[in-house]
Structure 1
Amino acid sequence: MQRASVLVVDDSPMFLQVVRRRLAEEVDAEVVAAANLRAARTAMAEHRFDVALLDLNLPDAPGGEVVDLALAHHIPTIVFAGDCSEQTRSRLWAQHIVDYIVKEGAESLEYAVRLVRRILRNREIAVLVVDDSATVRHMLAEMLAVHCFTVLEATDGSEGLRLLAEHPNVRLVITDYEMPQMNGVRLVQAARRLFPKEELAIIGISGHEQKDLSARFLKSGANDFLHKPFSAEELYCRITQNLDLLEYIRTIRDLSEKDMLTGLANRRFFFEHGAQALAEAQERQEPVYVAMLDLDHFKRVNDQYGHEAGDTVLRHLGAMLQRHFGEQALPARLGGEEFAVLFAGVEDVAARVEAFRAELAATPVVVSGGSVPVTVSVGVCSLPGQSLERHLACADQLLYRAKHRGRNRVEMGTSPQKIDADKE
């Protein structure tokens, strides 16, 4: 994916410097700075920007002309202002800006940085709007497009459920209450049977005067509720708050389930979820294989090139395991240079593992100080009806045999192998 690009326009050199530094720290994007309307016009002619952070009143554009220019280039626009009257706010919202921010110290800068990050992330997120009114759907779709969401539309709850099943990138549902076939509360209840609150945010909306409606939505599993009519500003705040919360939960879950160096599943996740996947495959009478992998001469890499190079090798191995096996199997880092892969219901395991081993051996890793050849020894075991622990013990013995027979090879078996206790 092409790297994002952010335009920052302000006549204060100090402010530009601080904003550029904070964006560089928090956002993976190219940041282009301009100090006036003329420089901003040149930058927009030369670059395609994903979001712009603009000072409303520049010396050569005191009437907000830089905002008009950015919107004419279809750039999602965040406006900075020294102060913002009700008249100015109304005019800006009518222009369909992303948001306005009053310069009030460090907090406003941090909000701007978070908002830029949010807008860039929104490009990967779909929002489902469920309402039987075409007018309301169109209004919400326009508002959501300003924040760079992909928007899906449904006329009732039944169609909404179908679209949820078809589009896994939906992270937010905005649903009305009164609709034919399936109302909003029933949609929330049905959606929650499929998607927990930490994976899908749901915001209920309604102009109904029923006093307990917001409570009904929330008790049914909605994350939030808005009474019609609501402002674009309030809707954006609620959406951002709910999506940020989903991402915080995802981050915490990753910290507990993933190996931070390689991005693979960690030991805890592998044993918890692997045992369940193995049992389900055995119940369906599908083949189960467990592979144990160990980097050959890894200590030598650390000793010769340093631990940073060793980490680079581990990340490379993790990326290759994910690319080869991540979609159909469960690869994990168990610790150190030891990895495992669970294949449940996967065919041609021997050929797949051998292809992985051969590609890894043919792909040296470039590190500071040279190019490191990387190979692995692999043991692959299948024990019908046996536990994950028994599979791992068997695969570990086969791994030892691969080491014993010269390394950089795959050994397969269907029962524990007794290996001569020679040292490596």
Structure 2
Amino acid sequence: MQQQRNTNFYAIGLSYKKADAEVRGHFSLSETAKIAILKQARTKGIKSLLLVSTCNRTEIYGFAERPCILIDLLCDNTKGTVEEFQNVAYVHKNNDAISHMFKVGSGLDSQILGDFEIIGQLKSGAKKSKNAGLLNSYLERLVNSVIRASKRIKTETELSSGATSVSFASVQYIMSNVKHISEKNILLFGTGKIGRNTCENLVKHTKNTHITLINRTKDKAEAVAGKFNLLVKDYRNLQEEINISDIVIVATGAQNPTVYKSLIQTKKPLLILDLSIPKNVNEDVRDLENITLVHLDDLAKITDETLEKRKAYIPAAETIIYEINVEFNAWLDTLKFVPTIQAIKHKLTDLKNSEFSTQRKKLDNFNEEQAELISSNLIQKITNQFAHHLREDSNSSDESIELIKKIFQLETTKNV
């Protein structure tokens, strides 16, 4: 695939490090927004980009002449403004953007150290971009390299020892702050990825059988409940279930609050955990004295001995990232001579076609099929020799490329 001249590879975005949950919510990308950005990117001449939107970050990786093009794409399709973005954002370019993706995908940049759930987002984003024709060889190779690094870190280090996700942190919080947890009524509202993981952790660690699931699409809740023999209620029963619960966990993908003060009539203590971005529990519930509201940003601040121990494995993870990053950069270096090899092949093919035309006129019994086979094999062997030389002699490959261009009088295009 061709990369346009004067473009660079950028990673633009915001995360939990500088943007609180409310601001992150302004830039959260719904599935509809992602589709819109991919369509809009094509109209702006962008050849390759990848979208990531999780509870703790929103990012765009892509090629553009200037990062503001990608920033405008994000702001045009979310509630966020350019001014708001600039207050909390980061912009990484070329090698720095590559390094950033490795850190994100490896769990080193996660809100909870070692949380690898972002890898699923990178895979999903790459698939969507590829289906839209917006994933060039550079970005696809980079994503695959990050996935490799993530897998090696999981298997070769204990950076992700135990559970590390926000969903586990929520269950850990409940177990630390609620007495007789196995006897409490728990409502889980939302059965997306975070909801499913939270449900699994609840069943595993609390031994609670009084867990009810609600989802706008009931069959999705039933699919999750079936694995653990849990109860499912209709969305229309949400208010009723909230008021008979001791703990409510909200993990929906809604763009606006779905739980608010007027839904709550119970006077008994009620713990509400909001694991959603944007926030799905209205702040007005804090007006009720019996309500304790905890957001995922609060959960991420929880540290324990296990989390502290994981920090010891950061150097080992960074070594793995370095090794795979070196491999990726070596692959990038080979790309600079790909256009030259292609140009040589085209030049030799043109010479072959010209010679064929001459021989057809000279020879009545010219065997074009046999000549085509022999000449094509020779062209491939010649170009392979050039490619081998350039790969093996990387220190002087720039000089070799210029000499080859001069000898063959080549015009090449820049590829990625």
Scaled to the shorter chain, the TM-score interval is: under 0.3
Q: Which has the higher contact order (CA 8 A, sep 6+)?
A: 2
**What TM-score does the superposition give when structure 1 sets the normalisation length?**
0.23
**What TM-score does the superposition give when structure 2 sets the normalisation length?**
0.23
